[in-house]
């Protein structure tokens, strides 16, 4: 037998023995009927469920899974068979980790790792992965001889936006070297036992179920999906033992190349298992093995600039200066000008710079652009990106937009030399890079003088915001002559296509009709293509021949008909990254809406994750539909079924968030004041019978509607 297959089998057999023993012990201790579940998932033990279709719910379900696991270990001297044994190790790791959660325990409460990754987090990763904002996923495992090396590799990934999961002592090594961690910083510590690697494996596996519509039990479909669509790879640090090697074989079976830092000579398998002994080369080689190309942004600023810093939080104690609407005048405005009114790359700081000793300043960020193809409608599209770009600077935090924002600059960034002109450079470079197709010249003025900033706010910004709001509110599905497709999510959900209209943004919440229009202008053959409104065949349900034609083509024939306004008949497909899901609540005959962040139970008897698993992956499921938060107050929400009058329950946070807009729509369409007071939430009840009583008592308009089914 070859040395490699030998090592793999030896690891897999060891894991099989450990798993069997652990299952038997757990059954003896707790009883076969004891439930065993991972937190906040609709996919049971995801590896077992995806590979075999078996839904593990209790300890008594596990011995059969151990049988399957053992059957994967054939001990045949063949690399393909040995890779299957690697999958057995993954199943074993899943069971061993799952047993830690018996009885609702939180085994990671005291650990620096997070353990199992809940479904909603995976869904939230959809958009950054498809836009390339997260260009890849690294799994870093083990303990380096020199902790500084592992930290350097992880920081390198972080600066490139790679989402990195850490397993083992490398967590402490990276922490000791000052790596900042957290999901928002794209470095996620999983756990210390090697079995905790399964928590990133199930992220890839659930991506196949959530976005890819891979059917549970379709092992070949699963492996093809992870190989082709999940851009992951593995780096191991330190000595290899058989268990690590067999886990690595599992990764290879999923299509993820493994790079080890030990000299393994003849054990290498080109493209799948390779040795890179110089840590300076680890990241570069790993990315090239997975075909991940990173566009490096070299900006003339003294701090790092990467999407990975978007979620960085700067606390008061670490803060050097602040621009905050509650204390000083602030505004951000992008405005289009004539060619001769814009001097390209002119950056003006009008007022004190941040080194004059104050801690609080006013700030009017005033950006003038000219472009032969620039349109007034694109001003807000560019302006909204300021938030992300400022956040990408390490040591800068930006929240809010328009005239309501807060920017903090850290002491650290200040000491590295960050000043106002660098903010101007970032805006200039990013606008010229991302909006090259529509912007030919750009000039940035940053006004910190409070009197002058107020003048920009009053005379330029407020009138512009008001004009835009008027335009947006007058923009309806009827007032435009085309809609747009968006197929950005197809890299994960191959048969999904959003239809974006003025009154219905993409279900991710990130693509409005204006964004789609700008995307078409920026990238003619790109993900957003126009749909003609000619020949509407049903205005109530929203059937258009060209919608069907475009969606049919965009989904390679997977979807035939889509209605724009019905959730019961040919509803729009869902990919998986939707902000909210709505579903039928049969007792009240209404619709429950649940957002991704809500962890509790809804009156449908399902959590967000369970509701979400009813659809997705590009399928149409009448009665269930993913959508953006903003869509809730739209006059087109479930319009064919009675519209917003169907909404009977939402989590409180979501309800509060949409209240002012939803109340306004209800006033206009239904003549009802304070509609949201009639809508249930978890503080009122999550029980369907009690909800019905509440709705009856409040005189909710759903009471007068015809049954949904
Ligand atoms: Fe994905 Fe639809 Fe959002 Fe486009 S609009 S990014 S397809 S969810
Ligand atoms: Zn999506």
Closest to 258 (Cα-Cα) out of 240, 273, 269, 244: 273
In angstroms, the CA 691 to CA 357 distance is: 57
Lowest mean pLDDT among 67-71, 552-556, 613-617: 613-617
**CATH (residue range 482-704):** 3.40.1470.10
CA of 576 to the centre of ligand 2 (A): 5
The answer on pLDDT for 253 being more than 90 is yes
Sheet with 498-500: list strands edge to edge. 498-500, 482-486, 530-532
In angstroms, the CA 357 to CA 565 distance is: 56
**In this predicted model, what pLDDT tens digit does every residue of 13-28 receive, in sequence order?**
999 999 999 999 999 9
CB 268 within 8 A of CB 274: yes
The answer on pLDDT for 692 being more than 90 is yes
CB 580 within 8 A of CB 629: yes
Q: Which ligand has the shortest distance to the CA of 617? A: 2
* Ligand 1 atom at minimum distance from 487 CA: 7
Binding site membership of 185 for ligand 1 (Cβ less than 6 Å)? no
CB 184 within 8 A of CB 164: no
CA of 598 to the centre of ligand 1 (A): 21
Sheet with 404-410: list strands edge to edge. 360-361, 319-324, 404-410, 396-401
Binding site membership of 506 for ligand 1 (Cβ less than 6 Å)? yes
310-449 to CATH, choices 3.30.70.20, 3.30.70.1520, 3.30.1650.10, 3.30.365.10: 3.30.1650.10
485, 508, 554, 555, best to mutate for ligand 1 pocket (most atoms within 8 Å of CB): 508
In angstroms, the CA 584 to CA 688 distance is: 11
123, 129, 489, best to mutate for ligand 1 pocket (most atoms within 8 Å of CB): 489
Say what the pLDDT of residue 615 is: 85
Tokens 């204390």, residue located: 327
CA of 651 to the centre of ligand 1 (A): 24
Binding site membership of 251 for ligand 1 (Cβ less than 6 Å)? no
Could you give the percent of the chain with pLDDT greater than 70? 100
* DSSP 3-state percent helix, strand, coil across the chain (nearest 5): 45, 15, 40
* Ligand 1 atom at minimum distance from 131 CA: 6
What are the sequence ranges of the domains in the chain? 3-289, 310-449, 482-704
Task: Tell me the chain's radius of gyration from C-alpha atoms.
Answer: 27
Q: By alpha-carbon position, which residue is closest to atom 6 of ligand 1?
A: 488
381, 492, 504, 507, best to mutate for ligand 1 pocket (most atoms within 8 Å of CB): 507
Kindly tell me the sign of the dihedral angle through the C-alpha atoms of 319, 321, 325, 326.
Answer: positive
- CA distances to 225, 631, 635, 669 from 664, rounded to whole Å, are 44, 14, 10, 9
The answer on pLDDT for 296 being more than 70 is no
CB 510 within 8 A of CB 627: no
Q: By alpha-carbon position, which residue is closest to atom 5 of ligand 1?
A: 506
In angstroms, the CA 633 to CA 610 distance is: 24
124, 127, 627, best to mutate for ligand 1 pocket (most atoms within 8 Å of CB): 127
Sheet with 363-370: list strands edge to edge. 330-336, 363-370, 441-447, 346-350
The whole-number average pLDDT for the span 196-205 is: 96
Binding site membership of 516 for ligand 1 (Cβ less than 6 Å)? no
The answer on pLDDT for 295 being more than 80 is no
Average pLDDT of the chain? 94
The whole-number average pLDDT for the span 648-658 is: 97
* Ligand 1 atom at minimum distance from 528 CA: 4
> Judging by DSSP bridges, how do beta strands 498-500 and 530-532 pair with one another?
unpaired
Q: Which ligand has the shortest distance to the CA of 554? A: 1
In angstroms, the CA 679 to CA 48 distance is: 39
Q: Exposed, middle or buried: residue 393 (CB in 10 Å: 0-12, 13-18, 19+)? A: buried
CA of 451 to the centre of ligand 2 (A): 44
CA of 506 to the centre of ligand 2 (A): 9
Binding site membership of 42 for ligand 1 (Cβ less than 6 Å)? no
CA of 111 to the centre of ligand 1 (A): 36
pLDDT band at 473 (very low <50, low <70, confident <90, very high): confident
Say what the pLDDT of residue 640 is: 97
Binding site membership of 276 for ligand 1 (Cβ less than 6 Å)? no
Q: Which ligand has the shortest distance to the CA of 498? A: 1
CA of 508 to the centre of ligand 2 (A): 6
Q: How many CB atoms lie within 10 A of CB 24?
A: 14
**In this predicted model, what pLDDT tens digit does every residue of 301-358 receive, in sequence order?**
999 998 888 888 899 999 999 999 999 999 999 999 999 999 999 999 999 999 999 9
The answer on pLDDT for 55 being more than 80 is yes
In angstroms, the CA 112 to CA 185 distance is: 15
In angstroms, the CA 685 to CA 19 distance is: 42
Q: Exposed, middle or buried: residue 224 (CB in 10 Å: 0-12, 13-18, 19+)? A: middle
The answer on pLDDT for 1 being more than 80 is no
305, 310, 316, 317: CA torsion to nearest 10? -50
Q: By alpha-carbon position, which residue is closest to atom 8 of ligand 1?
A: 508
Binding site membership of 129 for ligand 1 (Cβ less than 6 Å)? no
* Ligand 1 atom at minimum distance from 127 CA: 6
CA of 342 to the centre of ligand 2 (A): 38
Tokens 């790679």, residue located: 162
Q: Which CATH architecture has domain 3-289?
A: 3-Layer(aba) Sandwich (3.40)
Q: By alpha-carbon position, which residue is closest to atom 1 of ligand 1?
A: 489
pLDDT band at 491 (very low <50, low <70, confident <90, very high): confident
Say what the pLDDT of residue 10 is: 96
- Enumerate the β-bridge partners of residue 445: 348, 366
Binding site membership of 488 for ligand 1 (Cβ less than 6 Å)? yes
């Amino acid at each position: 037998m070859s040395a490699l297959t030998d090592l793999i089998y030896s690891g897999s057999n060891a894991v099989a023995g450990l798993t069997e023993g652990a299952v038997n012990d757990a059954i003896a201790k707790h009883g076969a009927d004891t439930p065993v579940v991972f937190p906040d998932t609709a996919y049971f033990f995801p590896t077992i469920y995806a590979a075999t279709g078996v839904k593990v719910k209790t300890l008594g379900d596990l011995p059969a899974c151990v049988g399957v696991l053992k059957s994967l270990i054939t001990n045949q001297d063949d690399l393909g068979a040995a890779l299957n044994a690697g999958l057995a190790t993954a199943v074993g790791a899943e069971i061993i980790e799952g047993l830690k959660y018996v009885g609702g325990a939180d085994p990671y409460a005291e650990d620096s790792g997070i353990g199992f990754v809940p479904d909603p987090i995976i869904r939230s990763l959809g958009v950054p992965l498809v836009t390339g904002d997260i260009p890849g996923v690294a799994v870093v495992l083990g303990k380096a001889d020199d902790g500084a090396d592992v930290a350097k590799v992880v920081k390198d990934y972080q600066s490139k936006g790679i989402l990195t999961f850490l397993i083992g002592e490398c967590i402490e090594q990276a922490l000791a070297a000052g790596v900042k961690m957290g999901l928002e910083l794209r470095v996620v510590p999983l756990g210390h036992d090697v079995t905790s690697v399964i928590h990133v494996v199930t992220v890839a596996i659930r991506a196949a179920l959530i976005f890819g519509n891979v059917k549970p039990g379709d092992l070949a479909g699963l492996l093809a999906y992870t190989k082709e669509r999940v851009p992951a790879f593995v780096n191991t640090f330190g000595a290899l033992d058989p268990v690590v090697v067999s886990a690595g074989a599992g990764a290879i079976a999923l299509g993820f190349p493994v790079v080890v830092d030990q000299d393994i000579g003849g054990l290498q398998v080109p493209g799948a298992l390779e040795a890179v002994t110089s840590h300076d080369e680890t990241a570069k080689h790993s990315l090239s093995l997975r075909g991940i190309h990173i566009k490096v942004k070299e900006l003339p600023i003294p701090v790092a600039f990467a999407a990975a810093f978007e979620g960085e939080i700067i606390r008061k104690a670490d803060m050097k200066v602040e621009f905050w609407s509650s204390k000083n005048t602030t505004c951000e405005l992008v405005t289009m000008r004539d060619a001769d009114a814009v001097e390209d790359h002119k950056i003006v700081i009008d007022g004190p710079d941040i080194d004059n000793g104050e801690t609080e300043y006013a700030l009017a960020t005033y950006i003038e652009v000219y472009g032969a193809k620039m349109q007034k409608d694109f001003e807000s599209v560019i302006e909204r990106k300021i938030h992300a770009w400022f956040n990408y600077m390490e040591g800068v935090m930006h929240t809010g937009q328009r005239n309501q924002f807060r920017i903090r600059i850290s002491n650290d960034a200040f000491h590295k030399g960050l000043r106002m002109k660098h903010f101007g450079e970032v805006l200039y470079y990013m606008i010229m890079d991302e909006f090259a197709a529509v912007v030919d010249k750009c000039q940035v003025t940053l006004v910190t003088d409070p009197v002058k900033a107020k003048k920009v706010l009053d005379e330029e910004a407020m009138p512009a915001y008001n004009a835009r709001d008027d335009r947006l509110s007058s923009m309806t599905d009827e007032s435009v002559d085309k809609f747009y497709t968006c197929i950005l999510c197809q890299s994960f959900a191959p048969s999904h296509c959003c239809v974006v209209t003025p009154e219905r943004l993409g279900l991710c919440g990130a693509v409005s009709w204006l964004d789609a229009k700008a995307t078409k202008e920026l990238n003619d053959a790109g993900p957003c293509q126009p749909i003609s409104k000619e020949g509407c065949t049903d205005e109530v349900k929203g059937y258009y021949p060209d919608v069907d034609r475009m969606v049919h083509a965009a989904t390679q024939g997977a979807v035939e008909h889509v209605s724009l306004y019905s959730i019961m008949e040919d509803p729009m497909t869902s990919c998986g990254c939707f902000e909210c899901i709505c579903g039928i609540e049969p007792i009240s005959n209404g619709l429950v809406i649940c957002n991704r962040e809500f962890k509790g139970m809804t009156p449908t008897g399902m959590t967000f994750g369970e509701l979400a698993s009813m659809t997705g992956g590009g399928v149409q499921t009448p009665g269930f539909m993913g959508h953006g938060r903003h869509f809730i107050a739209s006059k087109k929400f479930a319009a064919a079924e009675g519209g917003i009058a169907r909404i009977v329950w939402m989590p409180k946070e979501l309800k509060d968030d949409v209240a002012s807009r939803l109340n306004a729509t209800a006033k206009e369409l239904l003549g009802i004041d304070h509609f949201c007071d009639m809508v249930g939430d978890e503080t009122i009840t999550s029980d369907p019978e009690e909800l019905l009583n509440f709705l009856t008592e409040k005189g909710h308009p759903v009471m007068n509607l015809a049954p949904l089914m």
